[in-house]
Structures are given as structure tokens and as C-alpha cells.
Amino acid sequence: MGIILSCFAGRSRMVSVFLQQDEQIKKVALSFDDGPNPEYTELLLDGLKERGVKASFFVLGSEVEQYPQIVRRASEEGHLIGVHAYKHVNLRQLSDEKALEQVRRTNEAIYQATGQYASYIRPPYGCWKENLDGEVQMVEVLWDIDPRDWATTSSDLVVQRVLREVEENSIILLHDASASSVRSAFRIIDTLQKEGYMFVTVEDLLLE
């Protein structure tokens, strides 16, 4: 994981120039990769709804095909659905043709589930093939804070890591793939809402 993670090169290569500070509200974005997950995503959606939070989900096409109803629900509830890849692969290690197929199959699965194509992509490990920008025409969104929630079952650790680094307009990376990650998300939300933060999609954060 360590070596391929070096692909990460900043929060959003293409649109962060549009970022504007809103002096009234401190915005922050929660994002969840690798779903939809049949055990945890709906649990997460329940808690997000209770808390009035909009989040962003970067989904795997193979999982969207298996659980389209979960993705439809997330979309209907106002969350942003973006492309991760079809399988959890490093796109940079694939031929252009194979990498494009990963993106297109995922976007097609998203369309079948939600009736809308995705406009945002976060490739696995943050590894994109920039030579395909013209063909894909999506906004690449990475992250600011990676608490490595996939590597621990301790929500204490995940929450501490996020709260230590968070600031206005942070994009937080989590995974809707474990009970501890879902618990961490709720604790992060409950703490930051008390501090005046508003949770929005990455699109709302980057383009408003």
C-alpha cells in the first residue's frame, strides 16, 4: 500500500483554484471509498440522514452492479456518487484502454442505478493516468485527511487523527467498509457539528 499511495498528489488537481472561503459557515466534506457495502453503507446512510449530513461516495463498479439499490438510495438522499474504479486496481498500471474500461463500466453502473452519470472520480490510491483527462472529462477529487481507517478497528484512533488535522474546507477520506469506520464517521460529525462545521458534498465544497 505504501508505495502506490505515493501517487496521491493533492486534494483536487483540477478545481481547487475555484475554492472560495465562506466566512459564515465552515464547510467540510466526508468521503467514503470502496462501497457500496451490503453490511455498512445503509447503516451509514441512516446516521447521515439523522444528522442532516451530505457526503460523497466513490464507488466500485463491480459493487454497484451487485447492490444498485444502495447507490440509488444514497443518490436520492442527496449524496454525491463518484467513480472509484470497476475493481480496486491501480489504474496507472493498466493500459489506457483497460483503464478507460474501468471508468466507463463504473459510470455505466452508476447510471443504471441512479439515472445519472458521475462527474467526479477518485481513482484507487489516488493514481490516475493524466493522459486520459481529455477522454474521461471528469473532475478528479482526492483528499486532505487520510486517517487510514481501513488499517485499524479503533475508532478512537481514526477520530483523533481527523480532529487533529481538520480545518475549514478539508476533504476527509474514510471507507464505508467496517463498523469502526461508520462509528468514526458519526463521532467526527457529532464533534464537528458542535464546532459549527457543516458537512457538504465535495462538489459543494469545491465549486461554491
Residues forming contacts to Zn ion in the complex (CB under 5 A) are: 33-34, 124
Please report how close the Cβ of residue 33 comes to Zn ion at its closest, in angstroms. Answer: 4
Closest by CA position to 155, among listed 194, 124, 126, 191 = 191
Please report the DSSP string for 113-157 in residue order. Answer: HHSS---EE--GGG---GGGHHHH--EE---SB---GGG-S-HHH
Residue from 22, 33, 156, 176 carrying the catalytic annotation: 33
Please report how close the Cβ of residue 191 comes to Zn ion at its closest, in angstroms. Answer: 25
Q: Are 185 and 175 in contact (CB under 8 A)?
A: no
Q: Are 80 and 56 in contact (CB under 8 A)?
A: yes
HSE-CB of 87 using CA atoms within 13 angstroms: 6
Please report how close the Cβ of residue 26 comes to Zn ion at its closest, in angstroms. Answer: 27
Decide whether 33 or 149 has the Cβ nearer to Zn ion: 33
Closest by CA position to 200, among listed 87, 78, 42 = 78
Please report how close the Cβ of residue 173 comes to Zn ion at its closest, in angstroms. Answer: 9
Residue 175 bears catalytic tag: yes
Residue from 79, 149, 175, 176 carrying the catalytic annotation: 175
Q: Are 74 and 45 in contact (CB under 8 A)?
A: yes
Residue 79 bears catalytic tag: no
Decide whether 67 or 197 has the Cβ nearer to Zn ion: 67
126: left (phi over 0), alpha (psi -120 to 50) or beta: left
- Which residues does the annotation mark as catalytic? 33, 175
